Amino acid sequence: MSLEKDENILTARDVAVLIVAVAAPFMLARYYKNAEYWADTSEAVYSALEREAEELNATLPEMVSEGVLLDKATAGPGNSFNYAYTIVDDDAARGMTENPSKLDDLRKQLHERVCMGMPDLRANGTIVRYSLKDGKGATIADVSINPGDC
């Protein structure tokens, strides 16, 4: 199989854009809706992150795009928020694992999106983690974005 872009295979950038396109609006909408929870204490931040995860999980799992399933969201440990995705398109998943540059592109895209599109999490120092697995449960990538790196 050629690793050149096939119209039917999602690229790392496509996956990153889809992940952020789904995650950012949830986080921003809930942030403004629940602004009173965003106090300066770590306990209040963690409590708000837990609420965010609970609200999001009430709608999951959900296909967020063709070939990408958002399985769940979790808060913690500490001041972190985690997204767990499954790339159900086997060809796209295989393409990402076989081509390190696609994973590098994915990491760059996720970093940009967190730094540019999630100001509330950045302001609270929340680390955003993305876990991508293939349809068999094997890890494709674990990406952590530290707001201090923005």
Q: Is residue 138 part of a domain?
A: yes
Predicted pLDDT at 38: 44
Q: Would you say residue 5 lies in a domain?
A: no
Whether residue 3 lies inside any domain: the answer is no
Facing residues of 69 across strands? 63, 86
The CATH number of the domain holding residue 111 is 3.30.300.250
In a domain, 7, yes or no: no
Identify whether 4 is part of a domain. no
Tens-digit pLDDT profile for residues 42-81 = 788 889 999 999 999 999 999 988 888 999 999 999 899 9
Which domain, by its residues, includes 107? 12-149
The total number of structural domains in the chain stands at 1
Its pTM surpasses 0.75: no
**Is 57 within a domain?**
yes
pLDDT at 44: 85
Q: What is the mean pLDDT of each run of 10 residues along the chain (150 residues)?
A: 51 68 60 50 84 95 89 94 94 88 89 89 92 95 92
DSSP string covering 4-59: S--TTS--HHHHHHHHHHHHHHHHHHHHHHTGGG--SSHHHHHHHHHHHHHHHHTT
